[in-house]
Structure 1
Amino acid sequence: MVNRGSHNTGNLQTARFRTRKLSPSAITLYTFFIFAFSIFVFLFYVRNIVEDEQPQHPLLSVESRSEQVPKLHVHDDRLWGSPLNPGLHPCVKPTTKYKGSQNSDHYLTVRSNGGLNQMRTGISDMVAVAHIMNATLVIPQLDKRSFWQDSSVFSDIFDELHFIESLKGDVRIVRELPKHLEGAPRARKHFTSWSGVGYFEEMTKLWNDYQVVHVAKSDSRLANNNLPLDIQKLRCRAMYHALRFSPPIESLGKKLVERLRPLGGRYIALHLRYEKDMLSFTGCTYGLTDAESEELRIMRENTNHWKVKYINSTEQRIGGFCPLTPKEVGIFLQALGFPPSTLIYIAAGDIYGGNTHLLELSSRFPNLVFKESLVTPEELQALTNHASQWAALDYIISVESDVFIPSYSGNMARAVEGHRRFLGHRRTISPDRKGLVEIFDKLETGELDEGPSLSHLVQRMHKNRQGAPRKRQGSLPGIKGRARFRTEEAFYENPYPECICSSRR
């Protein structure tokens, strides 16, 4: 009963209230008053915020305020998307004039020199040389005397059977010399660097006196340019199709890419060439302590096959011949527009100075991933003391990355860039080290601050350094003689136009 009585009383009060109806003019006046009061409160609140946040500055104009806000987060397509690639595709099939392999009782043995990618390009060249000389190629020996001291043989790193079978229409390849030729006299040759077809045709005179020719070095034996189209296409078939990594390496490389993706989806593969051997070889000591600089100098003095012993570090850096430091890489990536959350895979060996120098990058981009953190203990143990196999994993992960950025234009950087061009011009950002040094020095002296001005300079400087299609560059102007070949863009850095064709062709 109490509930019912309360309910009735409420209805009575509601009824009384409804009898007091406002006139239309009163409602309009009341609404206007509330609206005006709201505007007054809003303006008062905004004014207080501006005064609290900028007590020392007058209000900025719209134009000047836009210059103060860093436009760092560039649209995704500009950061991650592949450059325009209008109708281009790989084309490595031989022409109708091409003559395939012929059975030959002349043999070419090869000792590949250098690190993994230097050996890969050299082996691909030796395939073409064997074809030109009409020789049977014996599976090359890998370098075991380089800085990395890797004991791996060819079949540890490459799919040997695939290599032999996929090139059988181009050149005959065997695993080893026939028994009756193992003790036979052989010509030992250091083929002249950057040689053309005519040179190697001349070398076929060696078959008059020898059945076996041994090539002591394989790197840079063939010219980059002015070779027959079919020879260039053969180099690409060898490099991008035949010289496949061994099944265990291919499988593990694929697994590591799959393990990377869930961490951030897209990722940058950063070839951070800030390793002891590279810094010592180039003589670059900027940002290092006196003790570190001295350690690198001693290493250079004691490495017999490094012919240049005295190097002016300052001149090297100004000329753009030094790898970017971890700090410089961090500034560079930030200026390009990559946010701090970007996932970055470090494709490199041990960073010189360890965390001391790496912190200058990780403080800006904390999501750094190393291959050691991606592999299981069992996988890690299998790769221990096999630097070339580690490098093969770096290569696979770098080729498959959304963006590849090398801090130095060494053998791996050139090989990965060329492979990414061949596969569809995937985005590869090549730092203009010489131009960047001028910018970094201005930051150091206070002439320039990090922010929109820096971003504008860096982005404009690298607008045409994103891996977009372009023809391979020739030698630098003003250089004559054989020295000009050294300044040409490497064939495997950009196999366009011989191995990349337009759909219109």
Structure 2
Amino acid sequence: MNKDKIFSSAVLSKSELGVDSMKKDEILKDETLSKSLPLISNVMLQAKGPSGVDLVDQEKSVEVDKGEFWKQPDGLGYKPCLDFSRDYRRDSDGVVKNRKRYLMVVVSGGLNQQRNQIVDAVVIARILGAALVVPILQVNVIWGDESEFADIFDFEHFKNVLANDVRVVSSLPSTHLMTKPVEGSPPLHVTPSWIRGRYLRKFNREGVLLLRGLDSRLTKDLPSDLQKLRCKVAFSALRFAKPVQELGNKIAERMKTKGPYLALHLRMEKDVWVRTGCLPGLSAEFDEIVKNERIQRPELLTGRSNMTYHERKMAGLCPLSAMDVTRLLKALGAQKDARIYWAGGQPFGGKEALNPLMQEFPHLYNKEDLALPGELEPFEKKASLMAAIDYIVSEKSDVFMPSHGGNMGHALQGHRAYAGHKKYITPNKRQMLPYFLNPSLPEAEFNSIVRELHQNSLGQPELRTSKIGRDVTKYPVPECMCNDSHYDS
């Protein structure tokens, strides 16, 4: 039995379980309809609609609207462009040949927080002219994932891609094993000169520097060459380990077999509702559970504790619910037959939380739906590896949309931009929610307003330099991408 037949049988078995609403009799009906289309088309050529417009023209109009959702933004000709300066290239030989200084880093958080810190660890190693020892991944206290760097990422690829920028080693050499490292945890947003001034003298003396807690420690506004290095690490060097990459590719291919697909990153887990100070809105009972947990664990609330739930929601600080996502997608032109992959953890409330989305878009799948028996088994109970599979399938999608901000959404925004500005919908929550709460607004007017609000939020090129503090791995133009009218060197 070939792969396509295996996948077809897998989808049919899930249909019977209610994952995909298309039943066998509907498939037969579709086949009968397709055979009848030439006859129907001939009849339509003779027919007029109520307004006197040809029905064929109406049909064409529907097809145009249907295709609009999948239309990609104008990338303005931007392509990856990592041309390092002559000074950077001249200094590289001395940096990679250095055998005196070794930087060790401990990175924390979930997968995409770790990615961000690894990117900055490479840049800090370059700033200090040091070799980088493969980063140590701190066990996540929430997920308990004990995966090491090489379980998640392709270490040899990482080392080889960066061979001309920073020397990467798997462990300290024997000459440095007994050295007591200089330890540090930089404050937020430090500059290269701060790092050199704070650590270089001790580093030269001791030979080993151990840094912890690198999340957002390095300034986002670096010299051009170091911004390019950030991009090189994020978009080229950090490739997932082969077993993870292969399964992610397979699942993405299964989504692609029947045409384009949308990837949604849904942030509807219980801890997300607790931490954001928001409510799932499924029922009074579920809302009460979230409120009680927040009272019992106030330290989980991530800031602005003086705001009410309603104030947070109207300020755009809450994740979109499944109903919000459904209405937004419909307004932006997604059709009922759109194929959707949803990434993320188990929604609080289980399948009930996804009901509005499933009812409107029955072709809704996640990795558990699409994987064949046994395929996910090696990755179960390893949150970072499961998140990596979601990342791969989302990156390869035709359209991506997050229901809330976060590290994964930010990483994918940059990755998709670097790949040619693939469509990325950023929900304009603060401006659109008043219209969502207006029940008297006609659907056509609602849809028109929502489309207008999002016309510049579809993944078009944006200059990182247009706002202070933007991350180049989220906005790679202009330092890491160039076109015929703009060449940054």
So what's the TM-score if we normalise by structure 2?
0.81
Deviation at residue 426 of structure 1 after TM alignment:
0.4
Q: Could you tell me which runs of 5 or more consecutive residues in structure 2 were left unpaired when the two chains were aligned.
A: 1-46, 53-60
Conserved in 2, the CA contact under 8 Å of 1:74 and 1:337? no
Q: Deviations over 1:101-142 (max 9, x none)?
A: 331422211111111111111101110111001111111111
Distance 2:224 2:111 in 1: 26
Deviation at residue 180 of structure 1 after TM alignment:
5.0
Deviation at residue 74 of structure 1 after TM alignment:
5.5
Conserved in 2, the CA contact under 8 Å of 1:271 and 1:405? yes
| Aligned match of 1:472 | 464
Residue range with higher mean Cα deviation, 402-411 or 300-309: 300-309
Q: Say yes or no: does 1:114 pair with 2:106.
A: no
Deviation at residue 306 of structure 1 after TM alignment:
5.6
| Counterpart selection for 2:272 from 264, 275, 278 | 278
Distance 2:162 2:358 in 1: 45
1:97 is paired with a residue whose SS is helix
Conserved in 1, the CA contact under 8 Å of 2:66 and 2:333? no
1:222 is paired with a residue whose SS is coil
Distance 1:110 1:141 in 2: 6
Q: Deviations over 1:44-81 (max 9, x none)?
A: xx9xx99xxxxxxxxxx99xxxxxxxx98753553112
| Aligned match of 1:219 | 215
| Counterpart selection for 2:129 from 119, 128, 134 | 134
Q: Say yes or no: does 1:89 pair with 2:79.
A: yes
Q: How does 1:287-326 map to 2 (within 5 A)?
A: 287-300=281-294, 301-302=296-297, 308=303, 310=305, 312-326=308-322
Q: Could you tell me which runs of 5 or more consecutive residues in structure 1 were left unpaired when the two chains were aligned.
A: 1-45, 51-60, 63-70, 476-484
1:213 is paired with a residue whose SS is strand
| Aligned match of 1:26 | none
Residue range with higher mean Cα deviation, 323-332 or 312-321: 312-321
Conserved in 1, the CA contact under 8 Å of 2:274 and 2:300? no
| Aligned match of 1:327 | 323
Residue range with higher mean Cα deviation, 199-208 or 313-322: 199-208
| Aligned match of 1:448 | 441
| Counterpart selection for 2:409 from 406, 413, 428 | 413
Distance 2:105 2:234 in 1: 16
Q: Specify the code of the residue in structure 1 equivalent to 2:366.
A: F
1:363 is paired with a residue whose SS is helix
Distance 2:276 2:409 in 1: 16
1:174 and 1:307, CA in 2 relative to 1: closer, same or farther beyond 3 A? same
Q: Say yes or no: does 1:398 pair with 2:394.
A: yes
| Counterpart selection for 1:246 from 235, 241, 256 | 241
| Aligned match of 2:30 | none
1:331 and 1:247, CA in 2 relative to 1: closer, same or farther beyond 3 A? same
Distance 2:341 2:197 in 1: 47
Deviation at residue 147 of structure 1 after TM alignment:
2.1
| Aligned match of 2:33 | none
1:309 and 1:146, CA in 2 relative to 1: closer, same or farther beyond 3 A? farther
Conserved in 2, the CA contact under 8 Å of 1:193 and 1:222? yes
Distance 1:356 1:77 in 2: 30
Q: CA RMSD in A?
A: 2.4
| Aligned match of 1:123 | 118
1:73 and 1:465, CA in 2 relative to 1: closer, same or farther beyond 3 A? farther
Deviation at residue 354 of structure 1 after TM alignment:
1.0
Deviation at residue 277 of structure 1 after TM alignment:
1.9
Distance 2:445 2:299 in 1: 46
| Counterpart selection for 1:144 from 139, 147, 172 | 139
| Aligned match of 1:192 | 187
2:437 is paired with a residue whose SS is helix
| Counterpart selection for 1:371 from 367, 373, 387 | 367
Conserved in 2, the CA contact under 8 Å of 1:72 and 1:335? no
Conserved in 2, the CA contact under 8 Å of 1:286 and 1:314? no
Q: Deviations over 1:372-405 (max 9, x none)?
A: 0111222121111011111111111111100001
Conserved in 2, the CA contact under 8 Å of 1:286 and 1:313? no
| Aligned match of 2:259 | 265
Distance 1:298 1:473 in 2: 43
| Counterpart selection for 1:105 from 100, 103, 120 | 100
1:289 and 1:181, CA in 2 relative to 1: closer, same or farther beyond 3 A? farther
1:252 is paired with a residue whose SS is helix
Conserved in 1, the CA contact under 8 Å of 2:426 and 2:457? yes
Q: Specify the code of the residue in structure 1 equivalent to 2:473.
A: Y
Q: Specify the code of the residue in structure 2 equivalent to 1:503.
A: D
1:316 and 1:304, CA in 2 relative to 1: closer, same or farther beyond 3 A? closer
Q: Say yes or no: does 1:490 pair with 2:483.
A: no
Distance 2:62 2:266 in 1: 22
Q: Deviations over 1:389-422 (max 9, x none)?
A: 1111111111110000111111100100110000
Distance 1:304 1:214 in 2: 28
Q: Deviations over 1:219-259 (max 9, x none)?
A: 2122222x211101111111111111001111111111111
So what's the TM-score if we normalise by structure 1?
0.79
Distance 2:205 2:293 in 1: 43
1:80 is paired with a residue whose SS is coil
Conserved in 1, the CA contact under 8 Å of 2:182 and 2:203? no
1:303 and 1:161, CA in 2 relative to 1: closer, same or farther beyond 3 A? farther
Conserved in 2, the CA contact under 8 Å of 1:72 and 1:338? no
Conserved in 2, the CA contact under 8 Å of 1:115 and 1:143? no
Residue range with higher mean Cα deviation, 495-504 or 406-415: 495-504
Conserved in 1, the CA contact under 8 Å of 2:240 and 2:388? yes
1:366 and 1:305, CA in 2 relative to 1: closer, same or farther beyond 3 A? closer
| Aligned match of 1:458 | 450
Conserved in 2, the CA contact under 8 Å of 1:398 and 1:404? yes
Distance 2:363 2:313 in 1: 28
Distance 1:412 1:375 in 2: 22
Deviation at residue 145 of structure 1 after TM alignment:
2.3
Q: Say yes or no: does 1:362 pair with 2:358.
A: yes
Q: Deviations over 1:66-98 (max 9, x none)?
A: xxxxx9875355311221123211012322221
